[in-house]
Copies of this chain bind each other. A is one copy, B any other.
Amino acid sequence: MKPEDYIEGILKSDRIALSRAITLIESKKKEHRLIADEVIENILPETGKSLRIGITGVPGVGKSTFIEKIGKFLTSNGKKIAVLSIDPTSTISKGSILGDKTRMEELSVDPKAFIRPSPTGNYLGGVAQKTRETILLCEAAGYEIIIVETVGVGQSEVSVKKMVDFFLLLMLAGGGDELQGIKRGIMEMADMIVINKVDGSNKKAGERAAKEFEKALHLFPPNENGWVVPVGTASALEHTGIEDTWKTILKFRDLTTENGHFHSNRENQNLSWFREALRERLEQDFFSRHHVRQNLKETEELIFSGKLPVRKGIDRLLSGI
């Protein structure tokens, strides 16, 4: 397949062309990357029209089921949605394709939904870059809502926050123990918190938790974009919270579109994506040098234990070049 074939296929919303183009993005071969670059450059004018939603939460919070429910709700309302994921652990398990397919049983066979598991990669930066480019391809293929899913541990949710318009944090009622898995700092990144699995005997505790969180969030500094972060509840069992969540997302979009923050956020994301990618490229070039590879570990050990000043350590690595 030539670049034109991919471009034509994607613009015609052909799933196979789209899948293959994503595979090119994920490939480590240089000739694949060159084709991918040409494809992206050509589809660029057709991108940016979707609503990009990030969803995070610790394992066990019910992310997949929540995404399946909101996904089915959207496709049954005629929307085309794509679900991408960033899972830094997928490199290890190697099972994320099967995992995602079986996890979202209904959505994975829905003709209006496109599900793509996390690309594997050696480091998060690379995975994030690939997901950003995949968002562009999905948009060019006519997907109107892009959901980027991630696990609420490690650094991946910061990456996702930087590539979406709306960032949703799923939590469980109870506080304390359940929060063990979540990293500090995530709560202040959320545009909405949904307490999940609020049903049956868990209902009262869930509703109380929602109220407590709402109160706590009022103590946070306000968002620059004027958005007051709401706390909702949801249950897959009792079919609650899905439509409300969607309405909230639309409210957010309307408010930020009107006050200009939706657009300026996208522009700033473009620029910081560029700067990050550039920095990564410079670092990759540097760290792949022979002298650096030979001396990095020892230098870092001396720095770590405080035996070598930082500036001397840098000189040491730069001197051999």
Q: Which residues from chain A sit less than 8 Å from chain B, CB to CB?
A: 37, 40-41, 44, 47-48, 129, 132-133, 136, 175-176, 179-180, 182-189, 212-213, 215-216, 218-223, 266-267, 270-271, 273-274, 277-279, 281-283, 286, 300, 303-314, 317-318
Q: Interface residues of A: mostly helix, strand, loop or mixed?
A: helix
How many Å from the CB of A132 to the closest CB on chain B?
8
24 A-B Cβ contacts within 8 A? A37-B312, A41-B308, A41-B312, A129-B310, A136-B309, A175-B218, A175-B219, A179-B221, A179-B222, A180-B221, A180-B222, A184-B220, A184-B223, A187-B221, A212-B215, A267-B304, A270-B305, A271-B300, A271-B303, A274-B303, A274-B310, A274-B313, A278-B313, A279-B283
Q: Are A44 and B306 within 8 A (Cβ)?
A: yes
Q: Are A314 and B274 within 8 A (Cβ)?
A: yes
Q: Chain B: which residue is nearest A277 at the CB level?
A: B310
Residues of the B chain whose Cβ atoms lie less than 8 Å from the Cβ of A187? 188, 219-221
Residues of the B chain whose Cβ atoms lie less than 8 Å from the Cβ of A188? 184-185, 187-188
Query: With A48-B306, A306-B267 given, is the CB distance from A311 to B40 under 8 Å?
Result: yes
How many Å from the CB of A164 to the closest CB on chain B?
16
Q: Are B44 and A277 within 8 A (Cβ)?
A: no
